[in-house]
Amino acid sequence: MICSISGDVPQEPVVSIKTGNVYEKRLIEKYIDTNGREPTTGEPLSITDIVVISKQSMSGGGVGGAKPRTSNATSIPSMLQMFQNEWDALMLETFTLKQQFEQVRQELAHSLYQYDASCRVIARLIKERDQARNALANAKIKVDSNNSQDSMLIDDLSEQDIKRITEKTQELTQKRKKRSIPVDLPKAQEVEAMSVLLSTNVNNTAGSLGCLDYHANQTLVATGSNDGLATLYDVDKSAVVTTFKGHQKKVNRVLFHPTEQVVCSSGVDKTVRVWNHNGQQLHNIKKHAGDVCGLTMHPLGDYVVSASTDATWAMHNILTGQTLITVTPEDNGGYHCAQYHPDGQVVGLGTHDKKIAIVTVNSKKCEIVLAEHNQFVNSIAFSENGYHMASSDSNTVKIWDLRRTEKSIKTIDFTDGQIGNISWDPSGTYLAIAGSVISIYNHKGKREFDQVKTFSDSIVYTDIKWSTNSKYFLTTSDDSTLKMWGNQ
């Protein structure tokens, strides 16, 4: 047994009943009188908390070895007692100094890390400030001179808008960290067995259906067609609720507000229109000089980003009809699609010059440019896991990991067909691709992105969306048919 203070074999060993540590009796009593705590753990300790160890128990119950001589057995007892007291005091002081040294060393290391992190943050903020100043000095805002919209154009988002978006991003990011795969998520075998449960011509016309959106209530479906009509369809009642009439040409995108009875649409007639579920047009936003091909809604539901072939993208408040920002980057041949990240902080834009731009909307800053496609990018889809993204051109789908964007992690080729749109299911497990066929891939199969099923037909599927529980998906096609797929 070794004393936890002096490191020597104790003459009068005692043990702490709280920690089990062994001490020289006189040392621990002096330490308790001075500090009132356990030397090694810092816990409160009193004289009653220490127990003397029996010499018989130390020697196995019999007569032990020779007892150590005490100072009284020497010829100069007083001198030895003085030396002993000084040694005890030295041991106590050394032990205290060791504890203080370790504490100071930890505090110094923490301070050095804090200082290094502060320097990095300051350098990054200075760099971003300089970039923002340069961008502001070189910004070009393109406004349609024939714009009949009386809403005011704002160069930057208000502090209130930025605060709302930032708080929503933080909320969604925290929820994503806690999310898990739903227990009732369909297995790959169930997805493979899906078939058509509903097939209807919602417009009763020959016009091709080009886009759709599925409401979170899993009852209402919005569609857009080539003849300029947008339609609200009730799946449970198998009936058209409302037809939205206003677009002069093809409708490219339709979107549901998540909580309000509001539908947004965009089209080749260069407009973004906002409707209520009764078919009344609330706003007609004319901020583009080209086809509005991309339209995506922020998770809050009050904002949409539109992207046009005129090489501009803009952010609008759909409740007020106000355009908040309009951005025209340099060296851009136009946009064909747009998609908000699930957290609502950035938006992905697919360009005519075969690139994907990841843009922070609040600052209008392009963070990442991905360039691997051989044709213009017509669709972008972010996975709910927050870091996987899929993009497509007319015959290739690429999967990206946004944590390392040097190159795509998977390429899926459709050499004999064409791709209309792509969609992740809400769990981030299945990726659906609509085109000359419907292909479903499993991100979490035995091999990453295993093909689960291909549904083929003599038509071209133009859009595809999953239900919120991943048990169904809906498609539109060039024969003007809306279909719902699932298990019987």
The predicted structure's pLDDT at residue 76 = 74
Band (pLDDT 50/70/90 cuts) for residue 457 is confident
Question: Residues near 121 by Cβ (< 8 Å), separated by ≥ 6?
Answer: none
* Distance from C-alpha of 89 to C-alpha of 87, rounded to nearest angstrom: 5
SS3 label, residue 152: coil
* Distance from C-alpha of 296 to C-alpha of 395, rounded to nearest angstrom: 23
Domain boundaries 159-486, corresponding CATH code: 2.130.10.10
Choice among 109-118, 132-141, 183-192, 274-283 with the minimum mean pLDDT:
132-141
**What ranges make up the beta strands (E) of 239-287?**
239-245, 251-256, 262-267, 272-276, 281-285
C-beta separation of 324 from 317 below 8 A: yes
Give the residue-averaged pLDDT of 438-454. Answer: 84
Structure tokens at 404: 């390392």
Band (pLDDT 50/70/90 cuts) for residue 140 is very low
Tens-place pLDDT, residues 86-105: 888 888 889 889 988 989 99
Measured between alpha carbons, how far is residue 256 from residues 233, 298, 338, 349 in Å? 12, 11, 16, 20
**Would you say residue 61 has pLDDT above 50?**
no
The predicted structure's pLDDT at residue 297 = 96
**Would you say residue 84 has pLDDT above 80?**
yes
Choice among 27-31, 249-253, 356-360, 376-380 with the minimum mean pLDDT:
27-31
Residues linked to residue 306 through DSSP beta bridges, in sequence order: 295, 314
* Distance from C-alpha of 193 to C-alpha of 189, rounded to nearest angstrom: 6
- For residue 453, the tally of other CB atoms under 10 A from its CB is 18
Helices and strands, counts by H and E, the chain: 5, 31
Measured between alpha carbons, how far is residue 211 from residues 21, 294, 368 in Å? 74, 11, 28
Q: Name the more confident of 144 and 234.
A: 234
Band (pLDDT 50/70/90 cuts) for residue 75 is low
C-beta separation of 267 from 247 below 8 A: yes
* Distance from C-alpha of 257 to C-alpha of 372, rounded to nearest angstrom: 33
**Would you say residue 329 has pLDDT above 90?**
no
Tens-place pLDDT, residues 386-435: 899 999 999 999 999 998 888 999 999 887 678 989 999 999 999 999 99
Q: Which of 58, 29, 67 is nearest to 46 (CA)?
A: 29
Band (pLDDT 50/70/90 cuts) for residue 29 is confident
C-beta separation of 305 from 272 below 8 A: no
Residues linked to residue 397 through DSSP beta bridges, in sequence order: 392, 412
Residues linked to residue 248 through DSSP beta bridges, in sequence order: none
**Would you say residue 440 has pLDDT above 80?**
yes
pLDDT, mean over the chain: 86
* Distance from C-alpha of 359 to C-alpha of 287, rounded to nearest angstrom: 19
Longest Cα pair distance anywhere in the chain, in angstroms? 121
Give the residue-averaged pLDDT of 61-90. Answer: 66
Q: In the chain, what percentage of residues exceed pLDDT 90?
A: 52
Choice among 38-42, 91-95, 145-149, 181-185 with the minimum mean pLDDT:
145-149
Band (pLDDT 50/70/90 cuts) for residue 82 is confident
C-beta separation of 15 from 28 below 8 A: no
Give the residue-averaged pLDDT of 264-285. Answer: 95
Strand order in the sheet with 388-392: 379-382, 388-392, 396-401, 410-413
DSSP state letter for 47: G
* Distance from C-alpha of 230 to C-alpha of 225, rounded to nearest angstrom: 6
